[in-house]
Amino acid sequence: MLVKDVMTRHPIMVPPEMSAAEAQHIMTENLVRHLPVVGDGKKLVGLVTNQCFAMKPDTMISLSVWEITRYLSNLKVQKIMLSVKEGKVYTINFGKTVEQAARIMTEHKIGCLPVVDDDGVVVGILSEIDLLRSLQEMLGLPTKGVRVTMRMPNKKGQFAALTGALAQNDLGVMGIGSFPTPRQPGYYDIVVKIPEVSIEQVRDILSQVPEQEIVDIHEE
Amino acid sequence: MTRTNGKVPGGPVLSVEDLAVAYKIRGGEIEAVQDVTFDIQRGEAHGIVGESGCGKSTVTWAILNFLGANGYVKRGGIKFLGQELVGRSGEELRRLRGDQIAMVYQDPMQALNPSMRLGDQMKEVLTVHRGLSDKEAEKRCISMLERVYMPDAANVMHRFPHQISGGQQQRVVIAMALLNNPALLIMDEPTTALDVTVEAAVLDLIAELRRDFDTGILFISHNLGVVARVCNKVGVMYAGEMVEVATTEDIYKNPQHPYTQGLIRCVPKLGSDKASSMLYPIRGRVPPPNNRPPGCVYGPRCDYFQDRCREERPELRKLPNGVEVRCHFAEKIDPSKWQPSEDILPPKVRQNGDKEEYIIEVKDLKKYYEVQGSSLKDVFGMSEPRYVKAVENATFNVPKGKTLGIVGESGCGKSTLIKTIIGLEDSTSGDAEFLGLDITGDLTTRTEQLIQELQMVFQNPDSTMNPSYTVGQQIGRPMLRFGTVPKGEVRNEVIKLLNLMRLGANYYDRLPRQLSGGEKQRVGIARALASRPDLVLCDEPVSALDVSVQAAVLNLLLEVQAEYGTTMIFIAHDLSVVRFFSDYVAVMYLGQIMEIGPADAIYALPYHPYTEALLSAVPIPDPSAKQKRIRLEGTVPSAISPPQGCRFNTRCPRRQLLPDGGKICETETPPWQEDERGHRIFCHIPRETLLTFEPVIQTKERAV
């Protein structure tokens, strides 16, 4: 799964000369939280997020109604946006993997990454929502089936034993994921989604696999 | 966002709401489009269908702010990626739309600059919008051309538009449109000017690109079959209003609006036989925008018209099944109980069981055109003459009162064949006898009587009528010329013909410019019939007409045939029309008849491999029909040096069935394989093998 498979293509983009009020309007009206700011040829120059609109009052001379209105009506996107030039925008290339994108986002605690091609042209946007959607798909949520978590020691041949047991019984896999068992070093948990089968059947088959145990089993 | 359900991230790519477009004219203004509402999501293809003059193109022009000096958006809004387009200045629009909306028009030749090399035109898109270097742009263009399956892409970059075929031109235009990765692609009849086989390939391409680029597509077409193949949502427009919006399946399986039902009834369906597949034209025609009826605009043409329709204009409302329809009685109408009314009832198919007498017999007819070379030898006339072999060994005959349909891609020699018969061209060799008279010679040697018996209906009624003669004069002229009618009775005779054409006596003094396309074609038919010919040659008589008009004209031709017992040779590129209309069908490829026989036999197993490919390319107005996917590779070879052996061997997808990968196809001319019904196939593959193919089209009812 690469960024280009998960991202939202053709995001709403705004030019840097647009007024900040209008950008704010576009964001609320279209229920989006991030607006890539692009110059000529869709080249990324900045990013507008909700935080950009939280302005400090000391940027204004006084807080009179007139002053605030004047200030807001002259305010342009380029003034409030996070600027690429200043290095405030994290981006990702469309050919990178989803986990790399997730890592950048968690590391910097940010909600979205503009996706660019090799020339810095915006081709899409990747938000937390897109990543969460890909997580669902990876674990096979849209289709009905049995979701089982197997705990196995970190040894050669364990995964093969699991898939072998499934294959012997003509079972397919809709989604799969694995992670190191929390607080139990040397063990891995593997989540498998199996369609068109009953819980009992899965339990019967997988409880036979040596050295492994069923930690959790669900019908979803 | 009133219409977004919130599930789609970022909302629709394009959202049109209550759009009304008006044109200012002398003494007021007319609303060409009223209350049109629809959304296009990312990666969705939204079709708009309707007869010409319904305002389909006006909608796209409004999106692009291309309405001309006198047009403007009167009401409503157009939102592109969440931002309003209406009411902005040109510069703002340019920046807003930037390079995110691309267009593909009907005629690729008009979208390309004839004086620039294709590569330079394509590169411009990238160097201007993206500021890429020339070299980088070239690289991108070539990879995009490869993406649209352009053979020999690097080479095509150096050619001029006229040096590549129509299908390839359209591919260049599509590639150009996609270079900037647009969010919205507007396609206005993109395949109408193309051959079926090319059309099928282009449609496949569009569907694939939509998936890969997640581009929203607004697809405009009058062809319901094409829309069924590419779109997942369809809006039906009538007289400037959206009358029905639904998913493609719903539109075809369960049309709710009487107009949609009518449109579907006028499309010839491949798969049913001639006797049962009647076409029911919609009576009347689209009202002009300044003269729309009160209440429901479709009222005057509707079979379910009631008082409420006149008094109250229906709103576009959502039915429980999600279909949006603009009709008061949509739930109460059951299209399966529909009965055609008296005036649109198609004529009975004639049954003449008497013995078959051939009116025209053609044997080994050849037509070669000499090509002038440009070398020094050619100038002095010393080189071997070279020929375009336009028609090769055509052999067929047509019984009296029957119709022979000729189908094939453009450039296959269909028109040359009938031009040779009517005498516009003389033949190179072979025999052709019409009523026992030899017609192979020069036109000047023909007797007047022979000329009178052979008449022609042309494709484009506009260019075949004298604009300064009235309808009556045009139809009366052949009568006077051939003396078939005494001078004093010409007027009465013309009016009789006009009545037969359902035009009426008041058309006698009209000029061609006062007629609609369908009416002009009827006058064209009336003129061809004026001298009471025995054989009428029709060269694509309905391909320039709307579906509903097409149905009316086809029914009219059938009626004429029933009335006068006229024999017809009917050329068309639309295989479903030919099926509907003809008793016999000939399939031509590169000047050679590949398969000929009774219509039922052509559309059923066994097929010639070429016929099979043609049938698999026909767009079917039924999204549930299963169609085998065969796409011919490459282009039609040059007729100057056609391939040795079988002319189809360079593109035949079936030659692998023969030993040695079909070596025999390259060396030997195939034999004619004939069955007892007179169905002949020009192929090396034995009939028994051809019979084992799967049928091309499988609909719910029966297989073809």
Cis peptide before A180 (omega within 30 of 0): no
In angstroms, what CA-CA distances link B32 with B17, B125, B259, B439?
A: 16, 33, 18, 52
Q: Where in chain A is the domain with CATH 3.10.580.10?
A: 3-134
- Cα angle: B160, vertex B198, B249; to 5 degrees: 135
Residues of B in contact with A40 (CB under 8 A): 129, 131
> What amino acid is encoded at B103 in this protein?
M
Q: Which of A2, A5, A10 to mutate to test the interface with B (most CBs of B within 10 A)?
A: A10
CB contact at 8 A, B126 and B148 = no
- Look at residue A3 in the predicted model and tell me its pLDDT: 92
Q: What is the pLDDT of residues B524-583, one digit of tens each?
A: 888 998 888 889 999 888 877 778 778 888 888 888 888 888 899 998 888 888 888 888
State the average pLDDT over residues A111-128. Answer: 91
CA distance B613 to B693: 12
Q: Residue A39: CA atoms inside 13 Å, Cβ hemisphere, count?
A: 12
- Look at residue A104 in the predicted model and tell me its pLDDT: 94
The residues pairing with B396 across neighbouring beta strands, listed in sequence order, are B362
Put simply, the answer to whether B95 touches A15 (Cβ < 8 Å) is yes
CB contact at 8 A, A39 and A121 = no
Q: Please spell the DSSP secondary structure of A46-78, one letter per residue.
A: EEEEGGGG---GGGSS---HHHHHHHHHH-BHH
Put simply, the answer to whether A11 touches B10 (Cβ < 8 Å) is yes
CB contact at 8 A, B76 and B241 = no
Residues of A in contact with B83 (CB under 8 A): 12, 26
Q: Which two tokens stand for residue A28?
A: 């609320």
State the average pLDDT over residues A61-88. Answer: 89
Which of B358, B391, B553 minimizes the C-alpha distance to B458? B553
Chain B: which residues have CB within 8 Å of chain A? Answer: 1, 4, 6, 9-11, 13, 42-43, 81-83, 95-96, 98-100, 129-132, 180-181, 183, 213-216
Which of B551, B552, B555, B558 minimizes the C-alpha distance to B536? B558
CATH T-level assignment (fold) for domain A3-134: CBS-domain (3.10.580)
- Please indicate whether residue A88 or residue B518 has the higher confidence score (pLDDT): A88
The number of angstroms, rounded, from the C-alpha of B574 to the middle of its chain's C-alpha atoms is: 7
pLDDT lower than 50: segments of chain B: 1-7, 702-704
- Residues 6 or more apart from A51 whose CB is under 8 A from it? none
Q: Where in chain A is the domain with CATH 3.30.70.260?
A: 146-219
- Look at residue A110 in the predicted model and tell me its pLDDT: 92
CA distance A82 to B413: 65
| H/E segment holding residue B576 | helix B575-581
Closest to A40 (Cβ–Cβ): which among B13, B100, B131?
Answer: B131
The number of angstroms, rounded, from the C-alpha of A67 to the middle of its chain's C-alpha atoms is: 40
Which of B16, B18, B20 minimizes the C-alpha distance to B292? B20
- Look at residue B115 in the predicted model and tell me its pLDDT: 93
Stated pTM of the model: 0.83
Put simply, the answer to whether A119 touches B130 (Cβ < 8 Å) is yes
Put simply, the answer to whether B1 touches A41 (Cβ < 8 Å) is no
Put simply, the answer to whether B42 touches A8 (Cβ < 8 Å) is yes
How would you class B461 by CB atoms within 10 Å of its CB: exposed for 0-12, middle for 13-18, buried for 19 or more? Answer: buried
ipTM reported for the complex, 2 dp: 0.78
Distance from CA of B204 to the nearest CA of A (A): 22
- Residues 6 or more apart from B616 whose CB is under 8 A from it? B200, B627, B628, B629, B630, B631, B696, B697
- Look at residue B10 in the predicted model and tell me its pLDDT: 62
- Look at residue B3 in the predicted model and tell me its pLDDT: 35
| H/E segment holding residue B627 | strand B626-627
Distance from CA of A214 to the nearest CA of B (A): 35
CATH T-level assignment (fold) for domain A146-219: Alpha-Beta Plaits (3.30.70)
Q: Which of B79, B130, B184, B210 to mutate to test the interface with A (most CBs of A within 10 A)?
A: B130
